[in-house]
A and B are shown apart, each in its own frame.
Chain A
């Protein structure tokens, strides 16, 4: 689990640094989490996200806990949505899950950041760039997730479209 987390962190650095715009905005961490949920259908994904976002938070500059808390909470929400709302492994469900997970993560992260830095009476954001970044990240990651799930569903039975049994 730790090895997989480290591998995903390295891959995330590689994608941000090496791939050209707009592919550098692909959030490989959430892509991996969605694929994990669809293939394993297990709450193991939450334990993976605990380790993954703990490591990711260590390399950030924001107060510790922001990325960690928002990441794990968004994965919990995503798994809940998969279990009780979408309940299937189609490529369009994968896209919807991806949109929900990244949107929840970014929203929580942003709100917690505002709360944590409230003592800085004056802080300003370049709203245009931030919103553009978030929209691009959600769109391109979700499209990529949908494409990967579509391809995998043709090859592997684990990704075939069916309802989960609960």
Chain B
């Protein structure tokens, strides 16, 4: 293999990379993506069918414990729902009295997950909606009517890439549903869990607390469920504490998601 051959290949590499960033290869790239994405979609769907999207249990005792926990949570949720309905009625009356105008609800666009990342350094999925459907970078993506799973980071005409919450570059402003309503940043890149950082040391957080989006970021509304606190890490003489967070959905097995495209 001659030295000249090495030089030609390296020159070609840099030329192609330069041409990409100048936008000269856009037509070729879009054409190739339109061919590759359907193949990825078929493989991903077959993989989900074989794997299943249900949670797995190692033994019957785990299944029984999970059932008991869910049953107790269901009872508590019913009680909370009644309290919520009473509060909503009271809130409505108070707002009417104050002549307050409040806009609620968001427009969402349904999408199917057609592929996932093949790179071990990054966690993302590809959905079958893109620029042609009105998506923009930064739009939040939810699963199951309100569980925040990621943000749109790259757009093509018919597809979009969604950076998942457990990606190492993911950062979301969040609030813990504790007494202090602590705010912090939920970051990915910690394997199956996420970490919520910059929580003031003096605020009390416990395992089981829910974490929602704080609404302090552009495009991301307040109140989308991110996950629950698994554990709390505190170090003496540090101004902040950390919470280990687990998502309530399996980010590896997403099938249908919705993109929040704006307010109603």
CB-CB contacts of A38-61 with B at 8 A, as 1s and 0s?
A: 000001001000100011101111
A120 at the interface (CB under 8 A from B): yes
**Which chain B positions have C-beta within 8 A of A68?**
13, 16-17
- Choose one: A46, A55, A126, A134; the contact of B32 (CB below 8 Å): A55
Asked if B75 is at the interface (CB within 8 A of a chain A CB), the reply is no
**Which B residue's beta carbon lies closest to that of A46?**
B9
Query: Would B50 and A61 count as touching, CB distance under 8 A?
Result: no
Q: Which of A6-14, A90-98, A138-146, A147-155 contacts B (4 or more CB under 8 A)?
A: A6-14
Contacts of A109 in B (CB 8 A): 121
The residue in chain B whose Cβ has the minimal distance to the Cβ of A12 is B118
Q: How far is the CB of B180 from chain A (nearest CB, A)?
A: 25
Task: Assess the A126–B168 pair: CB atoms within 8 A.
Answer: yes
Closest to A29 in B: B118
Are B36 and A61 in touch, CB under 8 angstroms?
no
What is the distance, in angstroms, from A22's C-beta to the closest C-beta of chain B? 13
Nearest CB in chain A: distance from B51 CB, A? 8
Which of A12, A17, A125 has a CB less than 8 Å from the CB of B47?
A17
- A18: B residues at CB distance < 8 A: 43, 46-47, 50
**Number of B residues whose C-beta is below 8 Å from A?**
43
Q: Which residues of A contact B33 (CB under 8 A)?
A: 58-59
Take A18-B47, A68-B17 as given contacts and tell me if A59 and B121 are in contact as well, using a CB distance cutoff of 8 Å: no
Majority SS at the chain A contact face = helix
| Listed residue (B9, B20, B46, B118) with the most chain A CB atoms within 10 angstroms of its CB | B118
| Option from B16, B120, B191 in Cβ contact (under 8 Å) with A54 | B16
Are B191 and A129 in contact (CB-based, < 8 A)? yes
Decide yes or no: A65 and B20 within 8 Å by CB, A10-B39, A123-B169 being known contacts: yes
Cβ of B1 within 8 Å of any chain A Cβ, yes or no, is yes
Q: Known contacts A6-B36, A59-B40: does B16 contact A17 (CB below 8 Å)?
A: no
CA A117 – CA B40 in complex, angstroms?
27
- Complex: how many Å from CA A76 to CA B10? 10
CB contact under 8 A between A62 and B121, given known A9-B36, A14-B43, A72-B9: yes
- Which of A13, A54, A67, A128 is within 8 Å of B39, CB to CB? A13
**Interchain Cβ contacts under 8 Å between A and B, 27 examples:** A16-B43, A16-B47, A17-B43, A17-B44, A17-B116, A18-B47, A18-B50, A46-B5, A54-B32, A58-B29, A58-B36, A59-B36, A59-B40, A59-B115, A61-B161, A61-B163, A65-B17, A68-B17, A110-B121, A120-B169, A124-B168, A125-B168, A126-B168, A126-B191, A128-B191, A129-B120, A134-B120
Which positions in A face B, CB cutoff 8 Å? 6, 9-10, 12-14, 16-18, 43, 46, 50, 54-56, 58-62, 64-65, 67-69, 72-73, 76, 79-80, 83, 109-110, 113, 117, 120, 123-126, 128-130, 133-134
